[in-house]
């Protein structure tokens, strides 16, 4: 029989003790933390709560995160205006100003080109100045306004009006979204998101 005995003063034993100590300290911190699990249907506000916690407790969003959200917001603009233009005829409505027919066609063509979940470079190519000019034109048309008023008959993201009203700001290549813009942005999430932050609790409540 072969027996191996580790010397208590060996580097391996010391590393093991240090690791156990770190794990013990980590478990103490883990046990003290309050854990919340948010579960709900799509667009029920789970991601919005995470954004709010980030703004309130982690000093908001970095410049890199804002750039990502700016693209997300532009996707929201595209989805919103394409959905409205598609349902204009479906609801038996038409543009109040027939001269905007070319703008309507351009918006629908952009929607077809960016169908599904287009890569960022294609999205930026399609969402050019002509696109935003057409968006601004059709959004101000009474026919599209009437379509928006009947949104209960079809699925439209809840931030549609918020961002379509701001299209002249969003079209700026240097567009830098505000915290409110980010809170209003929408993106379908299928992964698990995690956020950690510290909150000061009064001593009378055990803090």
Determine whether the annotation assigns residue 186 to a binding site.
yes
Residue 103 C-beta-side C-alpha neighbours within 13 Å: 20
Determine whether the annotation assigns residue 185 to a binding site.
yes
The span from the CA of 140 to the CA of 100, in Å, is 10
Determine whether the annotation assigns residue 54 to a binding site.
no
The span from the CA of 12 to the CA of 5, in Å, is 12
Determine whether the annotation assigns residue 187 to a binding site.
yes
Determine whether the annotation assigns residue 189 to a binding site.
yes
Determine whether the annotation assigns residue 75 to a binding site.
no
**Residue 9: both structure tokens together:** 């003063």
**Residue 10: both structure tokens together:** 């060996």
Determine whether the annotation assigns residue 46 to a binding site.
yes
What is the DSSP secondary-structure string of 34-85?
A: --------TTSSHHHHHHHHHHHHS-S--HHHHHHHHHHHHHHHHHHHHHHH
Contact 85, 107 (CB under 8 A): yes
Determine whether the annotation assigns residue 33 to a binding site.
no
Binding positions for GTP are: 43-48, 183-189
Binding residue ranges: 43-48, 183-189
Point out the annotated binding site for Mg(2+): 47, 189
């Amino acid at each position: 029989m072969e027996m191996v005995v580790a010397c208590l003063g060996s580097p391996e034993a010391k590393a093991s003790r240090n690791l156990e100590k770190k794990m013990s300290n980590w478990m103490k911190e883990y046990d003290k933390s309050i854990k919340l699990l948010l579960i709900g249907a799509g667009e029920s506000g789970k991601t919005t709560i995470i954004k709010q916690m980030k703004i309130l407790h982690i000093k908001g969003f970095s410049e890199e995160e804002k750039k990502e959200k700016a693209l997300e917001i532009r996707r929201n603009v595209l989805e919103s205006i394409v959905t409205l233009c598609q349902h204009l005829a479906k609801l038996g409505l038409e543009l109040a100003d027939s001269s905007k027919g070319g703008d309507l066609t351009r918006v629908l063509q952009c929607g077809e080109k960016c169908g599904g979940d287009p890569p960022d470079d294609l999205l930026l190519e399609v969402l050019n100045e002509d696109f935003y000019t057409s968006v601004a034109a059709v959004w101000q048309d009474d026919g599209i306004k009437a379509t928006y008023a009947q949104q209960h008959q079809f699925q439209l993201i809840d931030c549609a009006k918020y961002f379509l009203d701001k299209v002249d700001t969003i079209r700026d290549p240097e567009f830098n979204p505000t915290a409110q813009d980010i809170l209003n942005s929408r993106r379908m999430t299928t992964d698990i998101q995690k956020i950690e932050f510290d909150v000061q609790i009064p001593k009378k409540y055990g803090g």
